[in-house]
Amino acid sequence: MNVPCVLITGFEPFAEETVNPSECIVRALEGEIIEGHRIAGAVLPVSFEDAPIHLAQALEDHRPALVIALGQAGGRADISLERVAINLIDARIADNRGLQPMDTPVLDNGPGAYFSSLPLKAMHACLRESAVPVSLSLSAGSFVCNQVFYWLAHLLATEHPQVRGGFIHVPWMTEQAERHAPDKGMPLETMVHGLRLAIACALRTGEDLRVAGGATH
């Protein structure tokens, strides 16, 4: 009997870091069963050219019912549930292959933005109830994380319309934050726990909560 699948993706280390918490979360959860779904994992290169290719291949290989892409947001203090991906690449630093595109679209003639199809407000409530630091975010940046989020949403909209998915940013792990900003880290175990809760909530929730979650600035 085939067990349905949830695909989670992370990234390799970048920007002189030797670890990436998104990769560590993928490795920790891969193979687990959550709400009757097997967790499959893929680690993407921090490369504008290669990351979308690896993402598309992972979708074809695993044919998931749900996809959550993860990335590191060093300097944030909580798990950030990303609401929108924009059709813009404006790289403040070069990727791991040395490319630094600026003011270019993720996809020529693509829509200006895509929204997550995950039940983010329900996921936000679930993590808060379990005392996991979490926020709703209106910016996934303009680096490879946003590019992957945009491509994921585009692929789901055009090639896998039955699949829901979105992007979650995680902060530095505690040991990383000690070198940068000690108050901006989170233990890996807390992140893994938070992602288990988020995945389970997404699988259980058909219609998202109707509660205010916006920002005034």
Q: From CA 5, how far away is CA 61, in angstroms rounded?
A: 11
**pLDDT tens across 94-117, in order?**
999 999 999 999 999 999 999 999
Q: Count of CB atoms within 10 A of residue 77's CB?
A: 16
Q: List the chain domain ranges.
A: 5-204
Q: Quick check: is 124 catalytic?
A: no
Question: How far is CA 207 from each of CA 27, 117, 185, rounded to the nearest angstrom?
Answer: 29, 10, 32
> Could you say which of 24, 126, 145, 201 is catalytic?
145
Q: CA-based diameter of the chain, in Å?
A: 50
pLDDT for 101 equals 98
pLDDT of res. 2 = 85
Q: What percent of the chain has pLDDT over 90?
A: 97
Mean pLDDT of 23-40: 98
**pLDDT of 69 above 80:** yes
Which one of 37, 82, 124, 154 is the catalytic residue? 82
* pLDDT of 217 above 90: no
Residue 66 has pLDDT above 90, yes or no: yes
Kindly tell me if the per-residue pLDDT of 1 is higher than 70.
no
- The string over 205-215, giving b where at least 16 C-beta atoms fall within 10 Å of a residue's C-beta and e elsewhere, is beebeeeebee
The three state secondary structure string of the chain is CCCCEEEEEEECCCCCCCCCHHHHHHHHHCCCEECCEEEEEEEECCCCCCHHHHHHHHHHHHCCCEEEEEEECECECCEEEECEEECCECCCCCCCCCCCCCCECCCCCCCCEEECCCCHHHHHHHHHHCCCCEEEECCCCCCHHHHHHHHHHHHHHHCCCCCEEEEEEECEEHHHHCCCCHHHEECHHHHHHHHHHHHHHHHHCCCCCCCCCCCCC
CATH 3.40.630.20 fits 5-204, yes or no: yes
| pLDDT of 21 strictly over 70 | yes
What number is the average pLDDT over the span 184-200?
98
The stretch 125-154 carries a mean pLDDT of 98
Least confident residue range of 1-5, 176-180, 182-186, 200-204: 1-5
Catalytic residue from among 37, 124, 154, 169: 169
Q: Give the global pTM.
A: 0.97
> Is 62 designated active site?
no
